[in-house]
Amino acid sequence: MWPLLYLSLLQSDPLPGPDLQAFALADQSAAAAATSADWQLSAEAALTTLGTPGAKQQHWQTRLALDSRYSQTSDDGSLYLRWNSRIDRFGGNSFGDNSADDSDSTTVMSWKELYGGYRWNDSWQTEFGRINQKNGVARGFNPTDFFAGAAVRAQISQQPAVLREQRLGSLMLRQQWLGDAQALTFLFSPKLSTQADDAPLALDWARTNNTDRWQLSAEQQLGSGWTLGLMAYQAQAQARQYGLNVSGALNERWLYHLEAASGSQSRWPTGTDSSNGRLASGFSYSLALPLTLTLEWQYDEAGLNQRDWLELLQQPALWQQYLQQRQGQQPTRQALLFQAQSQQWSAGFDWSALWLHDLQDNSDMLLTELTWIKPEYDMVLQWQWAPGPRRSHYGAVGSQLQLLLRYYF
Amino acid sequence: MKTLRHTSRLYLVLGLLFAAATAPLTSAQAQAQAGSSSDAQTLLQRADEVRNPRQSYRVTSTLIEYRNGKEISRNQLAVFTRYETDTQQFRNLIRFLQPRRDNGKLLLKDGADLWFYDPAGKASIRISAQQRLLGQAANGDVVTTDLIRDYSAVQTGTATLQDAEGQSRDTVQLELSARHPDVTYARMQLWLDPINGQSVKAALYAQSGTLLKTAWFRHYKPALGQLRPSETIIIDGLNPQLVTVIQSQDHQAMDVPAQWLQRQALESFNGR
């Protein structure tokens, strides 16, 4: 082909050098046969140095993990099976004097999902099993994510996206109807257990199915890049909650999202129910760099305001009790999230940063991550920095530096 | 004040004289332009029809990215396209096949609706058209879209061009201007073969006039009823050492139900 190309150059404008080089590269590019794997297996090894707030010593911790996902569908596409689980082995803490305490070593299995589905036709489908039901369009705080609760068994990061990946699904029966531009979903999740089970391989139903619950949700595409979702959620012996999700593209670069929920919730310290609203709203902007920036305002009326929160911080026992009660929810009333994400920030590198700021006690947490991407594995350097006082929203989390190797089989 | 009024009147007279002198010429130019524009629109439509089959189908796309002559990433995607006959629009759902870390991830593009779904967290996240997911390739480079919907075309000339396979091609050059700001590229130049409607080359520009990318279309092969380009070579305008090769293979006509093409359907999507 190349002699022909050079001959033809004599008759017309010559091609620029970079174009010829690009053609030569494309000539070498062999497309592999299309492959789609049913299994996805990955193994992780992580080394973390932890700075406990208020302590002078640095702790080191190792972690090994195996993550598996499986998806199988019948030939006609009507029957399908999904599996998603992971096992983490946390090594003992070793301290500055190189001593190690093996009694701290723990193994935690997270049976995240196992469910089957039947597609009656293009519109109707029924699913049953342990399903991770995720609601909400917001990036950090999801007021309508009613199934989040305390469903994370192995907390390996403070990043909202990682916490969502780690959590256990709830056993449920889910029925969905899909129209051309709308969807209706009903699900029922029964009570199975109220006894927490910390055994390494336990299914731990108490985390996800400690009460009867149902949810009805509807979503409509409004056209021109906007979507509206409405939902109602009911847990036994609790007030009904209502949710709203709106998101849309303002143009090629700007996005907007609003997620809100309303309904009575228990208020601290009296424990009496009173109506309150929760809201997360924000904008995203994509630059050409490539870099995408997101700013989100988070508001939870049931969280403590500045005066009550600062008072509570002076009473450690009560503070711990309050945090236990608010598990999975915002402890304070208002916070801000700022996120920067860059895929292929530099050749072979992804970079992201997440900054969380509490507007009641002004504590901060910064989570930044640099990922070196190779075809079969990732090398990740994560830095979590929480400089606030030990008794504050984000200061209590502590700082850590983690080096992680993730290999894909 | 008097001076100002006098000056204004002078400008008015000069303006009227200029307008009178140029009016017939402008009208003639407009007529010529209209004729040229109409032909250009027909040519652009033909080029769209050659690149994009007027039916629903599935195709496997392989994106290979090079920097300084070295392969730095390779993605394989299954692209499901639904063609809406009444609106003549394409709706796209992309499933990531390779690399293995991305297996099962989905990208939904339905008009201005763009969603990214990751099965690991079961979260669907709205993304913007400008957000990069596939290295140097914009989302709009991968999905099926008709240029005629977003651009108005004017024929600016003819050129004998070396195509990306070394063949000399007599081409028509079209200048495309975005009809609205919500497009990936503000302006394009397209060189196409008027005999068969095959696109040969495109130059893609930002609003500022900066050349963002040069795209070459080559290896036309039979697919779904006619010859279509099986390879697109994209060269970065700012750094020509960044090259993306998009290879299309295994075109299959298939029904892509409208129900698949919404956020709520992503979790149970079974297409491969």
Q: Which two tokens stand for residue B79?
A: 């692209």
pTM: 0.87
Contact B167/A at CB under 8 A: yes
Chain A residue with minimum CA distance to B230 = A31
**Chain B residues with CB-CB distance to A134 below 8 A:** 121-123
Mean pLDDT of B138-146: 65
Q: pLDDT value at position B88?
A: 83
Interfacial A residues in 197-256 facing B (CB < 8 Å): 219, 221, 223-225, 227, 247-249, 251-255
Contact B180/A at CB under 8 A: no
Place of tokens 């062999």: A30
Q: pLDDT value at position A359?
A: 94
Interfacial B residues in 18-57 facing A (CB < 8 Å): none
Query: ipTM for the complex?
Result: 0.89
Residue from A182, A252, A405 to probe the interface with B (highest B Cβ count within 10 Å): A252
Chain A residue with minimum CA distance to B217 = A23
Mean pLDDT of B9-22: 33
Residue B135, pLDDT > 70, answer no
**Chain A residues with CB-CB distance to B66 below 8 A:** 22, 25
Q: pLDDT value at position A5?
A: 38
Contact B66/A at CB under 8 A: yes
**Stated length of chain B:** 272
Contact B165/A at CB under 8 A: yes
Interfacial A residues in 306-365 facing B (CB < 8 Å): 343-344, 347-348
Please list the ranges in chain A whose pLDDT falls under 70. Answer: 1-15, 31-32, 34, 52-57, 93-103
To the nearest 10°, the Cα dihedral for A283, A287, A290, A295? Answer: -20
**Chain A residues with CB-CB distance to B257 below 8 A:** 122
Contact B82/A at CB under 8 A: no
Q: pLDDT value at position A11?
A: 46
Residue B111, pLDDT > 50, answer yes
Compute the distance between CA of residue B179 and CA of residue B24 in angstroms, rounded to an integer.
Answer: 27
Whether B113 and A178 lie within 8 Å, measured CB to CB? no
- Residues contacting A249, CB < 8 A, separation 6+: A225, A226, A255, B112, B113, B114, B126, B128, B129
Radius of gyration of chain B (CA): 23
Range in A387-391, B135-139, B237-241, B246-250 the model is least confident about: B135-139
Q: pLDDT value at position B137?
A: 59
Range in A235-249, A348-362, B31-45, B182-196 the model is least confident about: B31-45
Mean pLDDT of B263-267: 93
Q: What is the pLDDT of residues B78-88, one digit of tens each?
A: 999 999 988 88
**Chain B residues with CB-CB distance to A227 below 8 A:** 113, 126, 263
pLDDT band at B118; cut points 50, 70, 90: very high
Residue A99 pairs in a beta bridge with none
Q: pLDDT value at position B93?
A: 95
Check if the beta carbon of residue A103 is closer than 8 Å to that of residue A78. no
